[in-house]
Amino acid sequence: MRTMISQQELLYATSYFCEDNLIGKGSLGMSFEVECEVMWNIRHRNLAKIINSCSNLDFKALVLEYMPNGSLEKWLYSHNYYLDFFQRLKIMIDVASGLEYLHHDYSNPVVHCDLKPSNVLLDDNMVAHISDFGIAKLLMGSEFMKRTKTLGTIGYMAPEYGSEGIVSTKGDIYSYGIMYMVTFVRKKPTDEMFMEELTLKSWVESSANNIMEVIDVDLLIEEDEKISLRPACFSSIITLALDCTVEPPEKRINMKDVVVRLKKILNQIYDVRTPQLRKSRHEDQVPFFHPELFKSSQIKN
């Protein structure tokens, strides 16, 4: 039987719910129960781990494993932080691996419903963990979709989710595709440049033949001795993002295929690194996907 932590203990542990110690707020009632159900039972290295909870009539909270490097959003948009190309790609592989587990390998498919950079947390090894399952949905039996009145986040939410309330794994794939674009172009879908008919997706799509114009400029000036970032690699990245966000939803690829393609992109880029660089880092003697590359509390109420 699980022993819950008390509200008083949480007050002391978090300096009276100081914002620095909170991941988010708002999960109440049934959404809290769903989140508890999902997070107590999932076991995957890329999903945030719940270590305790507190629940009474007017207060509910989850205690999650501490993630010292904060959120992906912080690293993308704070001037004091920087993610190089390999870090960004590895984070997106981590997130895709977590979603693959939720969609295909958990006892019943789980739809996260609110995938975005602020819900991706980074541990001390910069391994990404998906968090905040407050509006997640379990698909039972033969279900492939549900209807809901609970909305995700504008800009990341799949069109069918916002207009018809349809929740399916395809909606998560759409949100992943938008977040994938955001990670490499470093523009928010709610940026002031996007208005009326121009969206992040349409902007990226219209630049498909000149992809270097939309890629984050910081990635284009990385030193050559680190990696040769060929336009073909960026093209593969953007093509995958667009395949995740295609309409209608039935045409979107699934997360298993996303993971396979991401690893192909990673190996494609690894292959263009110079043999001298690989030798200097002793990478010729170890597998590229070394276990150490894929390896420790925060409060959510």
Rounded to an integer, the average pLDDT of 272-276 is 53
The answer to whether 112 and 46 have CB atoms below 8 angstroms apart is no
For residue 50 the two structure tokens come to 């719940």
Does an H or E element contain 51, and which? strand 50-55
Instruction: Render pLDDT for 214-248 as a digit per residue (tens, 0 to 9).
Output: 999 998 886 554 455 668 889 999 999 999 999 99
- Using CA atoms, how far apart are residues 188 and 171, in angstroms rounded to an integer? 19
Predicted confidence (pLDDT) at residue 292 exceeds the cutoff of 50: no
The per-residue pLDDT for 177 is: 98
- Using CA atoms, how far apart are residues 149 and 278, in angstroms rounded to an integer? 52
Which residues are tagged catalytic?
A: 114
Q: At what angle do helices 169-185 and 85-100 cross, to 10 degrees?
A: 170
CA distances 194 to 7, 188, 198, 203, Å, are 43, 9, 5, 8
Instruction: Render pLDDT for 16-67 as a digit per residue (tens, 0 to 9).
Output: 556 565 555 554 455 566 667 677 788 899 999 888 776 666 666 777 888 9
- Using CA atoms, how far apart are residues 156 and 153, in angstroms rounded to an integer? 6
- Secondary-structure breakdown of the chain: helix, strand, coil percentages, each rounded to the nearest 5: 45, 10, 45
- Using CA atoms, how far apart are residues 131 and 255, in angstroms rounded to an integer? 18
In the chain, how long is the greatest CA-to-CA distance? 63
For residue 137 the two structure tokens come to 């949905």
pTM reported for the whole predicted model:
0.80
Pick from 34, 165, 45: which is nearest to 105 by CA?
Answer: 45
- Using CA atoms, how far apart are residues 172 and 245, in angstroms rounded to an integer? 10
Place of tokens 């419903």: 113
Place of tokens 């977040």: 179
Share of the chain above pLDDT 70, in %: 70
Beta-carbon count within 10 A of 46 CB: 21
Which residue type is seen at 151?
L
All CATH 1.10.510.10 domain ranges of the chain, comma separated, are 72-285
Q: Considering the domain 72-285 in this protein, what is its CATH number?
A: 1.10.510.10
The answer to whether 98 and 129 have CB atoms below 8 angstroms apart is yes
Between 126 and 218, the higher pLDDT residue: 126
Instruction: Render pLDDT for 62-118 as a digit per residue (tens, 0 to 9).
Output: 778 889 999 999 999 998 999 999 999 999 999 999 999 999 999 889 999 999 999
Beta-carbon count within 10 A of 194 CB: 17
The answer to whether 117 and 179 have CB atoms below 8 angstroms apart is yes
- Using CA atoms, how far apart are residues 207 and 210, in angstroms rounded to an integer? 5
Q: What is the mean pLDDT of the chain?
A: 80
